[in-house]
Structure 1
Amino acid sequence: MNREDIPESLRAGLDETRRIVHSYVQLLFIAGAVTQGDPKFKDNHLLRPLLQDLIESAFSLSILAREGMHSVVTRELRFIVEASLKLCFVQQRSYQTSIAQKLETFRKELESPRIPLRDVKLSMLSADTIRDFTEEAGRLYGRTSSYIHWSASQIQERMKQLENGNSIGRESPGTVQGSNDLIRRSLAASLVLIYHSVPEYVAGDTMVEKSGKTIDSYFMQSRYLAEIDAYFDYKHERQKSLSEIKESRASRIAF
């Protein structure tokens, strides 16, 4: 569907979908590029083969949302959240081993439909935030997983949508807004897990500009990523304007 064919009532919401996706992909590219500074990245890090899948899935979200296929958006988000969690889990347990060794050692975990969130270490978040993040990521995983298999709750939700006149190509602005909220929270969770699967300096080099200011990204509205950014307030380039940086960071937080 071309933009001019999109109902006026849905354009703002779908434009936001595109902004969310492009911001996520931009941060993925930067994380991958910075991590490649490690000469062993090519042979040792699972982010290398996963990066392409995450980018493909992310770009598909904009296309699916534009075509009104919000249930498929939800299913695609399940893959992104699950893959990011598995990446973090395996890399933290065996960072220096080759990809081939990781596939052999962690085959069971990689093929399992789930890995407990509490089995990953989130060192750039405070204890209270780890608890909140674990609860939110668990809810996101459960929400997105509910669309993998046909279920009674899924049927009831679809029936309600049909009764309200919401079908493919006729969705309401509220449907798009709800989808966007699920997308941004799921992609934020993915980024938190990815940043904890790579050396800490990757997040620091990504989020902190040479001036010390925080990178201009949609995802700096996430309180979890804002806290990761705050983890690097010790950097020398931030000291002269730290109060301003903190104030700006706090004012951005929206989810």
Structure 2
Amino acid sequence: MSESENTSGEGVPSARMFAELGADRNRRADAHATLRDSAPYRGAIRQLDRYIFDYGLGINMIELMATRWHAFFDERISLRIKPHLVQSMIAASHMIREGLHDPARREMRFLVEASVKALWLDQGSPAIAGKPDGAQKRPPRNVAEKVAALDGLGRERFDQLVDSLRFGMLDTAAGATYRQSAKSLYGTLSTTTHISSRDVSRDLANFEKGKHFAFETIADVNAVARLLRQVLDLALASHFEAFDHGLVGDIFEPAFAPGWSFLKMPLVGAIDRHFDYKAERQWKKEAG
């Protein structure tokens, strides 16, 4: 009897193969569902949610302070791109939950690029090393001009933009950490934005081992959450540096509790220490 005449499919090699593949996938899906319902996995997701919530608190506090003077919204592009930042943050979080970590990394790359470029524009477009004399035009002054300038900030100039930044709250050591982190994160995350041999080779090797996307382990979630925390630390430091530094000090003292996720991170933590001179903190030290 030919394969086409076998209506039940029993005994047909291809039918048995597909049945075995389906059964194996069902077993792995059931095991993964059990893993996702475990306390350690749920704990990893709670930690991820905390990073997202605390980043949202930071950018919302900046926006709240900006309402003191409406001109901030006319001048600072870092305030006006908040919807784009929020969308990427939420998208990255959702994709991590679904095991789609490479798309999450692409959103993180956007967060890095957008935060750094907005800071550069809000600093008055500091001169870029290597540009010929006279090439530096009048820097864009308002949001409309800064939006128009975005298309001229090509990918190949990212490192130059980072090197030209000036910091008012990050000290020399923290500024060096910022530059190293921005370049490293941008370079690493770009390998998933553009197809690369490294990531394709990794995926093929994982496939050979029987490891597929959307079947993430707890270690996978923790690793990508740590990466997101680094990205959000850089993004928040950029947002704070782009805003009025005096008002940033008013944000840090009353708004952020000691348990806020980013106070112990290298960049936001350095900005926090910049305000140790404030009288409120001196009183607390003396009282303690």
Same fold per superposition (TM over 0.5): yes
Question: Cα offset for 1:175?
Answer: 0.9
Question: Cα offset for 1:148?
Answer: 0.8
**In the superposition, relative to structure 1, how do residues 203 and 55 fare at CA in structure 2: closer, same or farther (>3 Å)?**
same
| Structure 1 gaps, min length 5 | 246-255
The alignment partner of 1:208 has SS state of helix
| Structure 2 gaps, min length 5 | 1-32, 126-138
1:129 maps to 174
| 8 A contact 2:36–2:42 mirrored in 1 | yes
| 8 A contact 2:77–2:147 mirrored in 1 | no
- Partner Cα distance (1:205, 1:67) in 2: 38
Q: Does 2:144 match 1:100? A: yes
2:274 maps to 231
Q: Does 2:187 match 1:142? A: yes
1:201 maps to 246
**In the superposition, relative to structure 1, how do residues 17 and 114 fare at CA in structure 2: closer, same or farther (>3 Å)?**
farther
- Partner Cα distance (1:161, 1:25) in 2: 34
Q: Within 5 Å, which residues of 2 pair with 1:50-199?
A: 50-93=81-124, 97-105=141-149, 107-109=151-153, 112=155, 114-115=157-158, 116=160, 117-199=162-244
**In the superposition, relative to structure 1, how do residues 163 and 22 fare at CA in structure 2: closer, same or farther (>3 Å)?**
farther
Give the greater-gyration-radius structure (CA).
Answer: 2
Q: State the one-letter code of the partner of 2:36.
A: I
The alignment partner of 2:242 has SS state of coil
- Partner Cα distance (1:106, 1:168) in 2: 34
Question: Cα offset for 1:27?
Answer: 0.6
- Partner Cα distance (1:37, 1:112) in 2: 35
TM normalised by structure 1 equals: 0.85
| 8 A contact 2:108–2:189 mirrored in 1 | yes
Measured against aligned partners, the alpha-carbon deviations of 1:18-68 in whole angstroms (never above 9, x if no partner) come to 111111111111111112322212322212331011111111122111100
1:13 maps to 44
Q: State the one-letter code of the partner of 1:36.
A: T
Q: State the one-letter code of the partner of 1:221.
A: K
| 8 A contact 2:124–2:141 mirrored in 1 | no
Q: State the one-letter code of the partner of 1:192.
A: A
Question: Cα offset for 1:214?
Answer: 5.3
The alignment partner of 1:14 has SS state of helix
| 8 A contact 2:73–2:80 mirrored in 1 | no
Question: Cα offset for 1:209?
Answer: 1.2
Question: Cα offset for 1:13?
Answer: 1.3
**In the superposition, relative to structure 1, how do residues 30 and 114 fare at CA in structure 2: closer, same or farther (>3 Å)?**
farther
Which moves more between the two structures, 143-152 or 113-122? 113-122
**In the superposition, relative to structure 1, how do residues 125 and 19 fare at CA in structure 2: closer, same or farther (>3 Å)?**
same
The alignment partner of 2:169 has SS state of coil
Measured against aligned partners, the alpha-carbon deviations of 1:55-108 in whole angstroms (never above 9, x if no partner) come to 111111221111000011110000000000000000001698221222345541
**In the superposition, relative to structure 1, how do residues 32 and 4 fare at CA in structure 2: closer, same or farther (>3 Å)?**
farther
Q: Does 2:78 match 1:35? A: no
Paired-residue identity, %: 23
**In the superposition, relative to structure 1, how do residues 184 and 105 fare at CA in structure 2: closer, same or farther (>3 Å)?**
closer
